[in-house]
Amino acid sequence: MSKKQSNATKQANAQRAAERAAAIRREQEAKERRRRTLWVSLAVLAVIAVVVAIAVGVQSGRDTTGEAATPPDGAVDTYALPMGPADAPVKVSVYEDFMCPFCGEFEAATRKSLEEYAGQGEVQVQYHPISILDDASNGTDYSTRAMNAAGVVLDNAGPGVAKKFHDLLFENQPEEGSDGLSDQQLIDLAVRAGADESAVSRPIQDLEFEQWVENATDAASKAGVNGTPTVMVDGKIVEATSTIDQLVSDTLGTIEATLKKE
Amino acid sequence: MVTTQTRPAGHTLWSWAGAAARLIVGGVWLVAGVLKVPDPAGNVRAVRAYQLLPESVVPTVGYALPILEVLVGACLLIGLLTRVNAVLSGLLLLAFIVGISAAWARGLQIDCGCFGGGGGPAANASDKYPWEIGRDLGLLLLSALLVWRPRTPWALDNRVLP
């Protein structure tokens, strides 16, 4: 009945009070930590979001795809070098990159047959160069330079010479990952194909048709071309197969079948 | 005696594994992103090649992905906001796994464009799909480890989020 608490009780009370205080402190610390985590997270996420938004704007500005470009005289379908008569019953589009080794194989395997079809007036071949392997030439952008040169030759010397130049580019195809042919080598091949050196030198060096190259590549991508070589017969893609031999025989087979239907 | 609930001072095996995961996943993202930044038009084509997104958003995704990869990679490398960035990393990897699987299932022959390029040789592209998916699954697993145990040594988190 004594009002005086025993020493033991006092001690126990003091300990409880200390524990309560510690618990409150812990809780405050935890709260503080959560608050800090939240703010740091929001700040970092906001920075990421802003940087991504700015970068999208910058990249979109750097990407000149789709800006107006004058196609070379003589181009068909805006972006292609034609071989064979425009009124041929079957149109064959060949999408290729001058740096692409598989395209070189495809060219070597199909050239004779396609030339025969074109010569007989049965097929118009539309060679669509595109530039997707610029990063495979040690920074010299060979794909773009070669396609620009093809455009220059077409513009200056017409489809016949351009086709010959196109063939020469594949016959002298540089190894993927090398510097590619130099501008001077491109000019020499253009002259060998029959172009006038004084007419083609400057525009080959100055990339006169660079924007046309870019737009061609984008148009091909929108048309469903996801790699090279891609072949279309009358606008329909000949499905890519695991080997070039297969693609060659599928291509020639599809042309035969389409001709029979005509 | 007051016991505080701070994390154990000693680093466990898991936390060192987490640090390694951070460096691997972060390094891969950083390299993948940096290689792609120089060619915005190519990135747009690579995204388009998957034929999964509507054309109206293809360019934006193409422009945004590389820089997002760079940022996520850099944050993971320095260990800033590890858990959040590991979640982002996992989501990106899931998207890529879905993309490659969808391309494979539909018989598309595309270069994945994972480290730039995109739209490479048409032949034999599908031979690479299993290896690409396997690689992304491995990175996804490492990202998951970091979501589960975001605290690792040598991380900025240990300073800004004590």
- The 10s digit of each residue's pLDDT in A139-161 is 999 999 999 999 999 999 999 99
In the predicted model, is pLDDT for residue B25 greater than 90?
Answer: yes
Q: Which of B42, B117, B161 has the CB atom closest to A40's CB atom?
A: B161
In the sheet that holds A90-96, the strands lie side by side as: A81-83, A123-129, A90-96, A230-233, A236-238
| The pLDDT value given to residue B121 | 47
User: Which residues 132-151 on chain B approach chain A with CB closer than 8 angstroms?
Assistant: none
- Give the model's pLDDT for residue B4: 43
What does the pLDDT look like over B107-142, one tens digit per residue? 887 877 787 765 444 456 778 899 999 999 999 999
Confidence of residue B1 (pLDDT cuts 50, 70, 90): very low
Q: How far is A226 from chain B (nearest CA, A)?
A: 5
Q: Which residues of chain A lie closer than 8 angstroms to B162, CB-CB?
A: 33
The predicted-structure confidence for B56-105, as pLDDT tens digits, reads as follows 999 999 999 999 999 999 999 999 999 999 999 999 999 999 999 998 89
**Which 8-state DSSP code applies to residue A229?**
S
Number of A/B CB contacts below 8 angstroms equals: 126
SS (H, E, C) chain B: CCCCCCCCCCCCHHHHHHHHHHHHHHHHHHHHHHHHCCCHHHHHHHHHHCCCCCCCCHHHHHHHHHHHHHHHHHHHHHCCCHHHHHHHHHHHHHHHHHHHHHHHHCCCCCCCCECECCCCECCCHHHHHHHHHHHHHHHHHHHHHHHHCCCCCCCCHHHHCC
SS (H, E, C) A230-241: EEEECCEEECCC
Residue with tokens 């009124």, as numbered in its chain: A87
- Mean pLDDT confidence for A170-196: 97
Answer whether A190 touches B (CB < 8 Å). Answer: no
Q: Which of A223, A5, A260 is nearest to A126 (CA)?
A: A223
In the numeric block, the tokens 């618990």 are attached to A23
Q: Which residue of B has its CA nearest to A48?
A: B71
> CA of A38, closest CA in chain B: separation in Å?
10
Which candidate from B5, B42, B122 shows the least CB-CB separation from A240? Answer: B122
Chain A CB contacts of B74 under 8 Å are: none
- For residue A102, pLDDT over 70 is answered with yes
d(CA A176, CA A173): 9
- Closest CA in chain B for residue A245: B123
In 3D space, the residue among A95, A121, A124, A109 whose CA is nearest the CA of residue A237 turns out to be A95
Classify residue A261 by burial, with Cβ atoms within 10 Å: 0-12, 13-18, 19+: exposed
B113 CA to centre of own chain: 14
Distances (CA, A) of A192 to A186, A197, B69: 10, 9, 47
> Tell me, what's the pLDDT at A110?
96
What is the pTM assigned to this prediction?
0.84
Q: What pLDDT does residue B12 have?
A: 85
Chain A residues touching B41 at Cβ < 8 A? 63-65, 214, 217-218
What average pLDDT does the segment A228-254 reach?
A: 90
- Residues B49, A52: C-beta atoms closer than 8 Å: no
Distance CA A261, CA A109 (A): 25
Looking up tokens 């409880």 gives: A16
Record: contact A63-B161, CB cut-off 8 A: no
